[in-house]
């Protein structure tokens, strides 16, 4: 199993996936963050395809194509249009500064590794060994949701989180049933659409998309 081309491709895609998650936390320019999300989506599609080749599941290729289309094409495209509409291009004041959030991400990756150990021990396949990659993306996405204030950064955090969940599903069990996958993808699309509408509404109401401005409810 070691050293085969499939495993190498899987390892590289997992490395790229993790790198994109970290890069999204590193960069302040929202357009760069969206670009990294597209890279992560593409890496996720490659992971699915590599697992399909490794475990001889032809239908995983179709899922990989769908995942790639949605997460590397449609969702970043929607976020990019929301970015153009909002007219803000930088996350200027994150609640946790960038250097500290990078150190926090390092700790989160180690936490993901520690947490995934019992799961990885159940199965010696290269996919199960790479499980911490998906968990790390989940944790980093959650951290980004908490620590960033612009609506679009939060969309990015949410997408990181969901990419992570999907990656865990692929790596642990070669994907969830196709119907569930389609349902989740559809939900995700709706969430991003709703958040995009929210961004535009906030922009017209407050002139900014800082979520801290939403402190009280109005009728």
Partner 1 sequence: MSGGAFGTEVTAAGVASSVLQVALTVAGAPLLVGLMRQIRARMEGRAGAGVGQPWRDLRKLMRKKPLAPDGTGPLFRTAPLVQVATALMVAAAIPFVSVRTGLGGAADLIAVVALLTLGTAALALAGLDTGTAFGGMGASREMTITALAEPTVLMATFALSTRVGSTNLPAIVDASLKDAGRVISPVSVLAAFALAAVVLAEAGRLPVDNPSTHLELTMVHEAMVLEYSGPDLALVELAASMRLAVLLGLWSALFLPWGTATSTGVPAVAGATVLFTLKVGVLGAVLAAGEVFMAKLRLFRVPELLAGSFLLAVLAVAASFFL
For residues 3 and 58, which CB has a smaller minimum distance to partner 1 in the complex? Answer: 3
Question: How many residues are recorded in the chain?
Answer: 219
Which positions from 14 through 43 interact with partner 1, judged by CB under 8 A?
Answer: 14-15, 18-19, 22, 26
Question: How many residues of this chain bind partner 1 (CB under 8 A)?
Answer: 27
Distances (CA, A) of 185 to 56, 70, 94, 180, 181: 23, 8, 29, 8, 6
CB of 53 closer than 8 Å to CB of 13: no
**Among positions 37, 79, 120, 202, the unique one binding partner 1 when judged by CB under 8 A:** 120
Residue 190 CB, nearest approach to partner 1 (Å): 33
The answer to whether 132 contacts partner 1 (rule: CB under 8 A) is yes
Burial (CB count <10 Å: 0-12, 13-18, 19+), residue 204: exposed
Buried b (16+ CB within 10 A) or exposed e, 94-108: bebeeeebeebbeeb
Which positions from 72 through 111 interact with partner 1, judged by CB under 8 A?
Answer: 98-100, 102-103, 105-106, 109-110
Residue 38 CB, nearest approach to partner 1 (Å): 20
**Among positions 36, 37, 67, 116, the unique one binding partner 1 when judged by CB under 8 A:** 116
CB of 57 closer than 8 Å to CB of 84: no
**Among positions 29, 50, 122, 133, the unique one binding partner 1 when judged by CB under 8 A:** 133
For residues 61 and 113, which CB has a smaller minimum distance to partner 1 in the complex? Answer: 113
Max intra-chain CA distance, the chain: 61
Q: Cα–Cα distance between 17 and 15 in angstroms, integer?
A: 5
Contacting positions for partner 1 (CB under 8 A):
3, 8, 11-12, 14-15, 18-19, 22, 26, 98-100, 102-103, 105-106, 109-110, 113, 116, 120, 129-133
């Amino acid at each position: 199993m070691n050293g085969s081309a499939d495993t190498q491709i899987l390892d590289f895609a997992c490395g790229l996936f993790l790198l994109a998650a970290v890069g999204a936390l590193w960069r302040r320019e929202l357009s760069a963050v969206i670009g990294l999300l597209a890279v992560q989506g593409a890496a996720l599609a490659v992971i699915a395809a590599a697992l399909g080749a490794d475990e001889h599941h032809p239908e995983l290729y179709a899922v990989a194509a769908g995942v790639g289309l949605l997460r590397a094409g449609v969702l970043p495209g929607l976020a990019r249009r929301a970015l153009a509409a909002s007219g803000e291009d930088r996350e200027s004041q994150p609640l946790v500064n960038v250097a500290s959030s990078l150190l926090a991400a390092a700790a989160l990756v180690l936490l993901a590794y520690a947490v995934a150990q019992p799961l990885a021990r159940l199965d010696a396949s290269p996919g199960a060994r790479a499980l911490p990659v998906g968990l790390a993306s989940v944790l980093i996405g959650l951290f980004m949701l908490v620590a960033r204030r612009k609506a679009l950064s939060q969309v990015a955090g949410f997408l990181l989180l969901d990419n992570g969940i999907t990656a865990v599903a692929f790596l642990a069990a070669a994907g969830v049933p196709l119907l569930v996958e389609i349902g989740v993808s559809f939900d995700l699309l709706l969430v991003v659409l709703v958040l995009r509408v929210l961004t535009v509404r906030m922009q017209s109401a407050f002139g900014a998309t800082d979520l801290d401005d939403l402190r009280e409810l109005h009728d």
